[in-house]
Amino acid sequence: MDIGNKLKNKSGKQAKILISEMLYDLINDLDINVKIENGYSIGYPNQEKQFKMDFLIEFIDFNKEQWLLKSTSSIRDRIYGTEFFAQNIRQINKNVSKIYVIVPDSLSEKEMRNKINYSTKIKSQTYTSFLTDILTVNELRQKIIEKATQNIEQGLRSNILGSDAETSIVNLLNDKRNANLWNDYEALKHTVKSSTYHIYKSILGKLNLSEGIDKIIEVSATDNIPLLSNRGKPKTDIYVKIKTEKLKICSSISVKNTSKKTVTVHEGNVSDIIKALNLLESNPLTQALKDFEKVGSKKNLLLKHPDSCRILDEKLKYYNKELVGLFIFGLHSPLVNNNAQIADLIIFTNNFAIWSQDEYIDYYINEYCTKGQFGTPFRWTYPSKKRGQKIQIKGFANN
């Protein structure tokens, strides 16, 4: 076997190992009711089991629905062989609902374009495919979680998905495979596979580091963030320290994992907002915000305190930058007692995007300022059963 074929063979094996690790880690971490089988083969009655895939996933709680996975490190002509297998498997086994081809997230840009192009082809109306999609390992992971948890009560499900997203990002930042790929991608791309390298690369790039130039010596990430002075959770979900040959960088990251269009971004006493905006007691906005807290909605405010409603409509929009900084990142919050509690990056994991604090504040105001209330990019309300005690702020996600 020549060197090129040896590398391809090793690359394929590593890609398969990567999927296996992800699947079994997922079952252990989230305790989901899913059965995994390595190697799947089936044939027509009285015929050889000639149609094969690399993994079978069976969702026990969903009438034993089955997904099949074919691992590859390259989208090339061999995909048509996988299509042939998928076509016959679907005819034989009606329990199979989805058949995915899975690639590492650490594909080269060329191979990633091939992946995207074939995925688009599958979904088009002019191409017949027996595959469901081409996914990266990380995309597959998200789909399994969504499927396995879809019958769980919404509040608990949100907690599970949010906690898993934070843990996943901590793990990928601490993964030495990602650091090795970052330091010398060209030398290692055939032998070192990662399911999370594209996220790792995006985070470090957003911290103004350059792949292959800013050589990583050490990365230390944690989701153990100090609580606010009221014992509440800060905006920061992950704190990471990065040491390169020339630099030491620290970053506080907020992680959002939601498929909803609006989410709660802040909940608390109106006095905290007044302090964060540095409003004097004599400022009409101060009393207007207090009046809103008492009644809990714009409709009630207009009925009971029309002057306060007018003041909020006219004046609050001039504080949009400060409001986004407070509600999304924790800037100027009187409850902050440690700088690590103020986020400087925000990551959306459902519809993946990563923003620096300044970028996101400008984007968020421009994108949503006409969709909220009082001229702000937020919807103002109150927490359940706490009208007159606290304010709740709904913000927009990128879905």
What are the tens digits of pLDDT across the range 286-342?
999 999 999 999 999 999 999 999 999 999 999 999 999 999 999 999 999 999 999
Contact of 327 with 393, CB cutoff 8 Å? yes
Residues 223 and 207 occupy one common structural domain: yes
Percent of the chain whose predicted confidence (pLDDT) is above 70: 94
Q: Same domain for 7 and 144? A: yes
Q: Are residues 392 and 273 in the same domain?
A: yes
* CB-side neighbour CA atoms (13 Å) of 280: 2
pLDDT for 9: 54
**Torsions phi, psi for 11 (to 5 deg):** -60, -45
CA distance 23 to 35: 10
| C-alpha 90: how far from chain center | 32
Domain boundary (148, 172, 202) is at 148
| CATH value at residue 217 | 3.40.1350
pLDDT of residue 106: 82
Quick one: 184 and 234 in the same domain? yes
The pLDDT-based confidence of 12 (bands split at 50, 70, 90) is: low
Which residue reads 């979680």 in tokens?
145
**Domain endpoint, select from 256, 286, 311:** 256
> Looking at residue 99, what is its pLDDT?
97
Residue-wise pLDDT tens digits, 170-180: 999 999 999 99
Q: How far, in Å, CA of 86 to CA of 66, rounded?
A: 13
- Secondary structure class of 254 (helix, strand, coil): strand
Per-residue pLDDT at 148: 85
CA distances from 186 to 190, 201, 206, 386 (A): 8, 14, 21, 57
Question: Structurally, how many domains does the chain consist of?
Answer: 3
Are 12 and 95 in a shared domain? yes
pLDDT band (50, 70, 90) for residue 362: very high
Residue 2 in this model has a pLDDT that exceeds 50? no
pLDDT recorded at residue 298: 95
Residues 390 and 280 in one domain: yes
Task: Please tell me the predicted confidence (pLDDT) of residue 1.
Answer: 43
Integer CA distances (angstroms), 334 to 130, 232, 272, 327, 331, in order: 56, 12, 6, 12, 9
Say if residue 174 is in the same domain as residue 56.
no
Instruction: Say if residue 164 is in the same domain as residue 111.
Output: no
pLDDT at site 194: 85
CB 18 within 8 A of CB 137: yes
What DSSP string runs through 317-328?
Answer: GGGHHHHHIIII
Q: Which domain holds residue 69?
A: 3-148
Query: Looking at residues 220-232, what average pLDDT do you find?
Result: 96
Same domain, 218 and 303: no
Average pLDDT over residues 58-82: 89
**DSSP labels for 66-103?**
EEEEEE-S--STTHHHHHHHHHHHHHH-TTEEEEEEEE
Looking up residue 125, the CATH number of its domain turns out to be 3.40.91.80
Contact between 55 and 36 (Cβ < 8 Å)? yes
Burial of 298 from C-beta contacts in 10 A (0-12 / 13-18 / 19+): middle
Query: Taking a C-beta distance cutoff of 8 angstroms, is the pair 270, 391 a contact?
Result: yes
Angle, CA of 298, 301 and 303, to the nearest 5°: 115
Whether 267 and 251 share a structural domain: no
CA nearest to 136, candidates 198, 82, 90, 78: 198
Q: What would the pLDDT profile of 254-290 be if each residue is shown by its tens digit?
A: 999 887 899 999 999 999 999 999 999 999 999 999 9
Stretch 136-160: mean pLDDT, rounded? Answer: 80
Return the number of other C-beta atoms located less than 10 Å from residue 101's C-beta: 26
Is 77 a residue whose pLDDT tops 70?
no
Q: What is the pLDDT of residue 155?
A: 66
When pLDDT is cut at 50, 70 and 90, the band that residue 212 belongs to is very high
Could you tell me if 292 and 380 are in contact, meaning their C-beta atoms sit under 8 angstroms apart? yes
